[in-house]
Amino acid sequence: MNVVRCDVAIVGSGAGGGTAALALAPLVSHGKRVLVLERGPRFQDGDFTGRELEMAGALYADEGGFLTRDGTMTLAFARGYGGSTLVYTGTSLLAPERVIRAWNVPGIDAEDLARRSRKYMEQNNVHLLEPERQNDNNRLFAEGAAGAGFHPEQFPLNLRGCRGSSLCNLGCPNNAKQGTDRVQLPAAERLGVEVVTRATVTRIEERRLRVVVSEKPPGAKGADPEWAPGEYAVEAGIVVLAGGVMGTTPLLLGSKLPGMPRRTGQGFTCHPAHILVGEHPEPITNDVGHPKSWFVDRAAEDGFVLETCMYFPFITAKNLTGFGAAHSALMRAFPRLQMILVLACDHATPENRITVDRRGAPVVHYRFTDAVIQAMVRATRASARIFFAAGAVRVHAPAAQPTLVEAHEVPQLEQRIHARHFRVGQVSISAAHLMGGCGMGTSAMDSVTDDRGRVHGHPWLRVADASLFPDSLEINPYLTIMALADRVAEGLMADLAG
């Protein structure tokens, strides 16, 4: 087995790992060796074709179809140089102050996170998209939301040179999204941080990682790995885990390190989401332009957030409840469809958690609470009002029976769209904002790490991704992940200096 020694090994290269890599890069000039180990490949510019099946297979674990244990929700998470920042839409929101206060983690305060987030907003060119570059799908949402009495807000986006392909979730074909693959990781590499792709960490031991570097499969996208394929032991003074919720927690649980906090894997939460569509009488621009420019935040009042979105034919078909002639008719109306993504704000509960199976593969135990179902139903009614206010003639609502709601039924929305029609297992629900599993707190009794991501009882081991969240963030999380990774890196630098 090859043995590699370094001072800091970062596992994962997404919002957390990429941020930590750049924040720790100054160590290199002090003679330290910093490694980033990324499970996925380093994609090349021509790899992003925008073809749905091809890109889902290349970018997402289980082609985006990873299922929770009872099969009622799919979880989307990407693998590659840049992690899930490859497939997000670049929405850049500050953590809500009320949420951070409710987290109640000593040392974590909203102002500090906001200050760090603003640094990354500047670094990643976050700005509001000009009105003339917004498509009808977004414009109708903003107009419909205002018309229906909501307060639409524009998403700050981290774009540079966006051509409006609408293909963000399949990896930007124009390198316009300023994820860690475009900003933090290349900068860190220029400063001497080494990034090794196709490198799967299979086990953590005391200050040591077992790593398998895989060959590039024939015909696969991406570059060859930087190291020769084979097994490696990476000996590291400090290990930073940033493989995302579906990477970090399963790795910790599978490694069976002695003395791990018993709460490891607990506190998993997410934003269960589904796509709603409204059918307009005339074609609209929906499959061109940035897909996600506007949102309505009702998290505090009603437990949901509505966002503009535009998905691809298969994902759209999968998200429409039912089948047969009505389903097909709606698909044929694709050029006339307006889309809204409904996200429910879920709170961590004891039964929702991550475990691993005998092979060390992640198993996500997730049960929909009544509160989440009620929030999704309220969100669906709100979306229907927005669609109709924007001029839609009918709306597809999974929590209605029949699922197509006509414009003349607006006065009956409370009855037409109701929790009694919302059946898990029948309605397609997915989540991309995965959080928790290694929550921050004060001791091993109530948490897995402290506020600087140090795993209780294991000062050489840190966590720097969304696993740290002790509860839902209730908004798109990547900027907060970066802010927390920045804190973790700062604490690590201070520990090394001290």
* Cβ-contact 229, 215 below 8 angstroms: yes
| Residue of 230, 281, 335, 459 that binds another protein (CB under 8 A) | 335
33 binds another protein (CB under 8 A): no
- Composition of the chain by helix, strand, coil, percent to 5: 35, 25, 40
Please give, one letter per residue, the 3-state secondary structure of 170-201: HCCCCCCECCCCCCHHHHHHHCCCEEECCEEE
Q: Nearest 5 degrees, angle CA 105-CA 110-CA 116?
A: 110
Q: Which is nearer to another protein, 62 or 224 (CB)?
A: 62
| Residue of 425, 443, 445, 494 that binds another protein (CB under 8 A) | 425
362 binds another protein (CB under 8 A): no
Judged by CB under 8 A, which stretch of 33-41, 116-124, 187-195, 317-325 contacts another protein?
317-325
314 binds another protein (CB under 8 A): yes
Residue 222 Cβ, how far from another protein at the closest point, in Å? Answer: 18
Q: Which is nearer to another protein, 168 or 463 (CB)?
A: 168
303 binds another protein (CB under 8 A): no
Judged by CB under 8 A, which stretch of 122-130, 247-255, 281-289, 407-415 contacts another protein?
281-289
| Residue of 7, 114, 334, 374 that binds another protein (CB under 8 A) | 334
Q: Which is nearer to another protein, 334 or 460 (CB)?
A: 334
Residue 475 Cβ, how far from another protein at the closest point, in Å? Answer: 27
420 binds another protein (CB under 8 A): no
* Cβ-contact 9, 174 below 8 angstroms: no
Separation CA 407–CA 393 (nearest Å) = 5
Report the C-alpha dihedral over residues 241, 40, 52, 280, rounded to 10 degrees.
20
Only one residue has tokens 């999974």, namely 398
192 binds another protein (CB under 8 A): no
Residue 157 Cβ, how far from another protein at the closest point, in Å? Answer: 14
207 binds another protein (CB under 8 A): no
- How would DSSP label each residue in 55-107? HHHHHBGGGGTEEPTTSS-EE--B-STTGGGGTS--B--PPPHHHHHHH--TT
53 binds another protein (CB under 8 A): yes
Residue 314 Cβ, how far from another protein at the closest point, in Å? Answer: 4
237 binds another protein (CB under 8 A): no
Judged by CB under 8 A, which stretch of 102-110, 274-282, 309-317, 481-489 contacts another protein?
309-317
SS3 at position 385: helix
Q: Is 257 left (phi over 0), alpha (psi -120 to 50) or beta?
A: beta
A 10 A CB-CB count for 483 gives 24
* Cβ-contact 470, 434 below 8 angstroms: no
Supply the DSSP symbol for 35: E
| Residue of 151, 262, 332, 420 that binds another protein (CB under 8 A) | 332
Separation CA 210–CA 194 (nearest Å) = 17
419 binds another protein (CB under 8 A): no
Work out the end-to-end distance of the chain between its first and last CA atoms, rounded to an integer number of angstroms. Answer: 34
Q: Which is nearer to another protein, 146 or 363 (CB)?
A: 363
CA distances from 481 to 164, 182, 258, 434, 444 (A): 26, 17, 27, 11, 22
424 binds another protein (CB under 8 A): yes
312 binds another protein (CB under 8 A): yes
72 binds another protein (CB under 8 A): yes
47 binds another protein (CB under 8 A): no
SS3 at position 44: coil
163 binds another protein (CB under 8 A): yes
107 binds another protein (CB under 8 A): no
Query: By the criterion CB under 8 A, which residues form the site for another protein?
Result: 48-50, 52-53, 62-63, 65, 70-72, 133, 162-167, 173-174, 283, 285, 287-289, 312-314, 316-318, 322-325, 327-328, 331-332, 334-335, 423-426, 428
